[in-house]
Chain A
């Protein structure tokens, strides 16, 4: 019970400094147009600030967000790890019959390359802090799927002394898949539902 994700340092995204526009520093080539110099000194910094704020506030949502969402939801890279029984069905979904890779889902072994963590099995207190570490290592934006009853609420092992009753006590979960274990179809359905969530995402 030592793992407490709230105390863990969360990665702080640094406030991006707006790069200086090249014309701002350029001295006016023609000295007699003083009005231009005045505009350069007063207007351009103000415009720069306003434009940067607009891009930061509005533009990121309205312009780039749909593009990121489109790209992200069509190439979800789940973390390649197996906790328990559901990991076998997770592997079966990548086999010949279900072929999850046709949805762009490719498991990667390094959390740095992943944007989706599928918690496929029972989470114990012993592995809890490693799970949180892996989650923190994944770059934003990231999603978590709780696959199976154990990851959702402890399942048949919820009364055990060593089991976390649901992975949502450790990391925020976006989607729950029921089943013990869920069939590969259910897992694929969960991934498609997550794609829908990403499509509708507004932040």
Chain B
């Protein structure tokens, strides 16, 4: 599909909910959308554009804001598409995609606990990989790793 045709189709369906389309090699590009209109964008992309398979949800911490990145696959178009939204503020949050793609459930739980992006109306926003009550978001840039501290070694009491 020609690039102009594709961007025209995107603009026709998404309208002003789409902010920009960044071309990306061997995919259909990276679509930036307004986070306020997330649910309509998801529904449009799923129902009208035919991206029925959600591969992953990830988050990137750009220090001044956080970006949530959805990777979608369409069997009809045989191609990948990225959806991304910039979330600013101290409590970054976006509407859940699990109402449209049920498979987003766990990906969003993971992104919530590791990158600290909250997903509104998520059916089951619990810790998945880290223990319950874990207070940190390890994938933020401010979270630094260090060599393990010295811990007491257990020995057998003879």
Spell out A's residues near B (CB within 8 Å).
Answer: 5, 125-126, 154, 158-162, 165-166, 168-174, 203
Contacts and interface: CB of A to CB of B under 8 A. Distances in A.
Secondary structure of the B contact surface, majority rule: loop
Interface string B124-158: 00000011000010100001011110011111101
Q: Which of B136, B143, B147 has the most CB of A within 10 A?
A: B147
B156 to A, nearest CB: 4
A126 B128 CA distance: 11
A6 B136 CA distance: 27
Given A126-B131, A154-B148, A203 B155 contact: no
Contacts of B145: 159-161
Contacts of A168: 153-154
B147 A203 contact: no
Contacts of A158: 147-148
A35 to B, nearest CB: 47
A172 B143 contact: no
Interface residues of B, number: 16
Contacts of B147: 158-159
B148 A174 contact: no
Given A161-B136, A161-B138, A168-B154, 4 more contacts: A154-B148, A158-B147, A159-B148, A161-B145
A6 to B, nearest CB: 8
Interface string B65-109: 000000000000000000000000000000000000000000000
Contact of B154 (A5, A125, A154): A5
Nearest to B157: A172
Contact of A169 (B136, B138, B154, B158): B154
A171 B154 contact: yes
A-B pairs with lowest CB-CB distance, top 8: A165-B148, A172-B156, A169-B151, A159-B145, A126-B131, A172-B154, A168-B153, A161-B138
Contacts of B153: 166, 168-169
Contacts of B130: 126, 162
A169 B149 CA distance: 11
B84 to A, nearest CB: 26
A183 B58 CA distance: 36
18 contacts: A126-B131, A154-B148, A158-B147, A158-B148, A159-B145, A159-B148, A160-B145, A161-B138, A165-B148, A165-B151, A168-B153, A168-B154, A169-B152, A169-B153, A170-B154, A172-B156, A173-B154, A203-B158
